[in-house]
Amino acid sequence: MNKNTKNILSWIFLIGILFLIANPFDSKILGPNTQEISYSKFMEAVSDGDIKEVLIRNNTSKITGMFSNGKIFTTVTPNDPQMVDRLLQNKVEVKVDSGESGLGFFITALIQWFPLLLIIGLMIYSSRQMKNGMGGRIGGNPFGVGRAKAKMLQPKKVNVTFEDVAGIDEAKQELEEIVDFLKAPQKFQRLGGRIPRGVLLVGDPGNGKTLLARAIAGEANVPFFSISGSDFVEVFVGVGASRVRDMFENAKKNSPCIVFIDEIDAVGRRRDNSMRGGNDEREQTLNQLLVEMDGFDENQGVIVLSATNRPDILDPALLRPGRFDRRITVQYPDMAGREKILKVHVKKVLLSPDVDLKTVARGTPGFSGAELANLVNEAALLAARNNKLAVTMQDFEMAKDKVIMGAERKSMSMTDEEKKLTAYHESGHALIALLMPQSDPIHKVTIIPRGGALGMVVRLPEKDKVSVSKTELLSNIRVAMGGRAAEEVFFGIENITTGASQDIKQATKIAKNMVIKWGMSEKVGIRSFYDSDGYYLEASDQVSQKTSELIDSEVKELVNSAYKEVKELVIKNKDKLESIARKLIEKETLTGEEVKLVFEGKELTEIEKQEDPLEEFKLGGIPRSSDNEE
């Protein structure tokens, strides 16, 4: 007999007992003023005309009635065949309850005893939940609060392997070693080696940390527990620690196994030693996690795999060898890595012969794996929307523009004046980008509204960059100021618009980081003004008011001096900027090559429209037959 059947039978038995208890008190169901009288007094009252009406229940000897004064009574009658005649002779209204369905008694009893049934049911449920929550341990939490929320995945249920991971070969290689240990531990143990107890995956969002964890789950052929760091922390102090204990107890029972804690910074943040106080619940949870990973009792056969994009805020005790022995950095893929990632994501996509994934990879520097997956999906959706049977290179280009610049706002109409002002603003950015030797090449310039912008200049680096020089940072500030400078030169200081708000924000951010983060200010010096959690120490105990004012002065100087230089460049190249703006108003979108031709004073050759290689395969169309076919 299973657990559900036992529960159902228990409830049926309980309800039956309650109805047996309820039956003797049936008279009380009618109300607290119900009077029980003998049969002789009942007949006397009938003869005296004091009875108004009676209710005779079939298959029972009990009669319920009402006196002339409205009071209710009950009596038990013998087998008297003349009783009904005497009632009718004395003009007593006689009602008969057939009792065929028995619903009257059932409903009445249910209404009377429902609160008691509800209370008893809640007590039974609470006791069972409390037992489950404690997990058989003293000091557990009721209602299952202290139980871990980790999901256990069996290897057969995970369909992601290392073949689905591309572009991060170094990280994949280190994790393959852990999988090899789980499959053949004697290979490493025969020389005295010990597999790392913990592996920390570090990298920016979208670079494949969680995907690597899924691949390990699919390759290792061992139980895999998955949980988020935020699942440990609750309002009640001690709940998170109890969940950590419960999770590791389950993991030890299924060892060898892997425990994956995603976003571990939610629970592993550095403990606060200052007088400001800390989070007792989070710190107790972290303490328990430290003990479970490497405490007095050895934790054999359980490998902890964690992921975070904020390793700088993690507690040092958590990062030491013996807990997290390895830190694997999952970086943005290079061009070759991006090409491999694209090949993985286009496996289920029907591609046109003109699609060159190497070209797509070259034009997407700085894209993460998640962004590349989104790019492929957007290209497929665009092709389907245009009723194509395959995805073409043109779809990839349009999808790239959509991912980088946002979707076109075709419903938005701009006046001629707004269009002209936007064209000159974007041409200012483009002009300065061409004049700055360290600026990234222009990919596209458009005055078609996309996302939250009325226009945009997109620049893409020619190759992947590991670091950025001071000259490049100053060039980026000047390019950002180009739009505002163009507005002022061509339309006057009184007609400048709010369109440069994001440009000013970007330039200020770069300048501030140059001063307080990268030590590129001679007056401020080579200093960092960030605390251990990555927050700017503005006018705090560690930064004086004088230093804070000096920082603001240096940031202001960097931005203002860049603006002055840009304004002079715009005045010197006024005719070239105007040529770009006119062509932009005419065509609305210019490629980087076209902008360069206009800048050099050359005429744009009319670009011949290339025929879509799959035009003949539009949905609903019939392919043209070859002349050589019979």
Tell me the CB-side half-sphere exposure of residue 71, using CA atoms within 13 A: 11
Nearest alpha-carbon partner for 398 in 387, 383, 384: 383
From CA 227, how far away is CA 205, in angstroms rounded? 18
Task: Quickly list H helices, 199-348.
Answer: 209-220, 239-253, 280-293, 316-319, 335-345
What positions carry a catalytic annotation? 426
Residue with structure tokens 């972290």? 286
From CA 543, how far away is CA 538, in angstroms rounded? 6
Radius of gyration of the chain, Cα coordinates, nearest whole angstrom: 40
Nearest alpha-carbon partner for 189 in 200, 180, 198: 180
Q: How many helices (H) and strands (E) does the chain have?
A: 21, 14
Whether the Cβ atoms of residue 142 and residue 133 lie closer than 8 Å to each other? yes
**Vertex 510: Cα angle to 504 and 513 (nearest 5):** 135
Tokens of 40: 């002789």
The secondary structure of residue 408, as a DSSP letter, is B
How far is residue 162 CA from its own chain's centroid? 24
From CA 242, how far away is CA 238, in angstroms rounded? 6
Tokens of 226: 């998955």
Nearest alpha-carbon partner for 358 in 319, 393, 329: 393
Residues 392-397: contacts with CB within 8 Å, 24+ apart?
Answer: 392/352, 392/354, 392/355, 392/612, 392/613, 392/614, 393/352, 393/354, 393/355, 393/356, 393/359, 393/360, 394/612, 396/355, 396/360
Q: How far is CA 97 from CA 56, 61, 64, 603, 616, in A?
A: 6, 12, 11, 104, 83
User: Which residues have CB under 8 Å from 40's CB, separation 6+?
Assistant: none
Whether the Cβ atoms of residue 433 and residue 439 lie closer than 8 Å to each other? yes
Whether the Cβ atoms of residue 18 and residue 110 lie closer than 8 Å to each other? no
Q: Which helix (H) or strand (E) holds 199?
A: strand 198-202
From CA 172, how far away is CA 344, in angstroms rounded? 15
Cis peptide before 256 (omega within 30 of 0): yes
Secondary structure of 526-560 in HEC code, one letter for each residue: CCCCECCCCCECCCCCCCCHHHHHHHHHHHHHHHH
